[in-house]
Structure 1
Amino acid sequence: MSEPRTFREEPVSFVRRSGRMSEGQERAFEELAPFYLLDVPRDVAFTSVHPDARLDVESVYGRTASLIVEIGSGQGHAIVSAASTRPDDDFLAVEVFRAGLARTMLDADREGARNLRLIEANAPEVLSTYLPAGAASEVWIFFPDPWHKSRHNKRRLVRPGFPTTAARALADGAVLRLATDWEDYAVQMREVLDDAPEFERDFEGEWAERFDGRVMTAFERKGIAKGRDIRDLTYRRAPRA
């Protein structure tokens, strides 16, 4: 008799919410998803990725180009802006909230961003198996859920073990960019990545300079309005042995 399958060994960094979709959001999934939203083979959960599934990057985008991946793309403001102004690069948004995916598709369609695709999936599974090893030239993690209550810290995306997952998807010398408005999470991110042999700092001093390619989003405005400082971090994938 085979062993029973577990649901997930690691806690996810999100709580999946459901709600009624607006007419515009429904239209996005009906009309735009066939082009923008990747059809991902699932494993044990709706947001999971089957461990045998692999993304054929060149086939999906129809060319060979630098691939920039945003984890937790939210409403898509940052990645749609980047994709529409950087037509020579390819972009991949990873998000689990359907309203955000719908907004991203609608805005991408309006801006004519044909170099963008979306995945509705748990990000660590995308990074650890679905993307080909070394496929990404950049990975962005902007304002991830801080899970600020101590008992929930274990659900943070950037925690021990995450650097190895992210490093697999990044090419040697590729960039990992992070930003948060929660000081203790910023410190945790820095400690975790400083301890990771797969990464090297790409900044001097305590924090990196603000990434020029990150447009101001609702999350950033909210943090600033509450008097929280925005902290950036930038790391590079160390050469593989």
Structure 2
Amino acid sequence: MSDTDPEPAEPRTFRDHPVSFVRRSGRMSDGQERAWQELAPQYLVDVPRDIASTSVARDARFDPATVYGRTAPLIVEIGSGQGHAIVHAASTRPDVDFLAVEVFRAGLARTMKDAAAAGAANLRLVEANAPEVLQHLLPAGSASEVWVFFPDPWHKKRHTKRRLITAEFAGIAAAALRPGGMLRLATDWEDYAVQMVTVMDAAPGFARAFEGEWAERFDGRVMTAFERKGIERGRDIRDLAYRRA
């Protein structure tokens, strides 16, 4: 290499920003393994990766009309967990398409198993980091709603930087939502709820879709294990709803 040759680029080995999850490495049960093997071809969206196993390549493309075989409103749930909320929604709203975004395989396997039992053909799953799904995988303005119910609160002060709901995330969500689309949030941690309000009230392109301090409970949000656990521990549930202006 001559003195004038450019230095080779340093290979990237980590994401540019911390993610809002720590991926569990526990093995799946035999039933979950079977569900994964049998149902993933039907439900799981194949995602081109960047560096990490849960990343999304910047040139990835997701065509809802091709994936679902029709044109319909698209609702995306971030952090779908065991899939209780989104399977119920998909099975009771067959005229809407649903996309579950989750990084924990056991939860995805359970979601696929329950979706198959409920006959929810309008549901697909993505195993990936949610902001990258919204930013790189989904076409701009393709989502009618984005749901974020009970995200990890990262309640220790030194960890709050890993919370999902930030000004950067609000911008990413705004780009993924169609005009008039809804961002629905729920948490059982008061200080996180206050942070969500602060972030979203200041977010360009969003306006409150509720009056008063908190939004009414969203009718389509069924009780999940996370919510039940929070209630049992004496925490109040707070909902928020913002409309894409």
TM-score range, shorter chain: over 0.9
1:172 aligns with 2:170: no
Alpha-carbon distance in structure 1 between the residues aligned to 2:9 and 2:157 = 38
Partner residue, 1:115: 122
1:184 aligns with 2:191: yes
Alpha-carbon distance in structure 2 between the residues aligned to 1:111 and 1:196 = 37
Aligned equivalent of 1:131, options 130, 133, 138: 138
Write the deviation string for residues 41-60 of structure 1: whole angstroms up to 9, x where unpaired: 00000000000001011100
Partner residue, 2:36: 29
- CA drift of 1:214 comes to 0.4
Alpha-carbon distance in structure 1 between the residues aligned to 2:27 and 2:204 = 45
Alpha-carbon distance in structure 1 between the residues aligned to 2:141 and 2:227 = 30
1:140 aligns with 2:141: no
TM-score (norm 1): 0.97
Uncovered stretches (5+) of structure 1, i.e. residues with no partner? none
Partner residue, 2:212: 205
Partner residue, 1:42: 49
Alpha-carbon distance in structure 1 between the residues aligned to 2:29 and 2:13 = 35
Partner residue, 2:90: 83
Partner residue, 2:221: 214
Uncovered stretches (5+) of structure 2, i.e. residues with no partner? 1-7
Structure 1 outlier segments of 4+, above 3 Å: none
Letter aligned with residue 79 of structure 2: G
Question: Which piece of structure 1 moves more, 154-163 or 78-87?
Answer: 154-163
How many pairs were matched up?
238
Partner residue, 1:98: 105
Question: Which piece of structure 1 moves more, 80-89 or 18-27?
Answer: 18-27
Write the deviation string for residues 96-137 of structure 1: whole angstroms up to 9, x where unpaired: 001100100000000000000000000000011110000000
TM-score (norm 2): 0.96
Alpha-carbon distance in structure 2 between the residues aligned to 1:159 and 1:226 = 26
Letter aligned with residue 85 of structure 1: T
- CA drift of 1:6 comes to 4.6
Q: Give the alignment of 1:154-173 within 5 angstroms.
A: 154-173=161-180
RMSD between aligned alpha carbons? 0.7
Letter aligned with residue 178 of structure 2: A
Aligned equivalent of 1:20, options 15, 20, 27: 27
Work out the percentage of aligned pairs sharing the same amino acid.
77
Letter aligned with residue 178 of structure 1: L
- CA drift of 1:160 comes to 2.4
- CA drift of 1:7 comes to 1.5
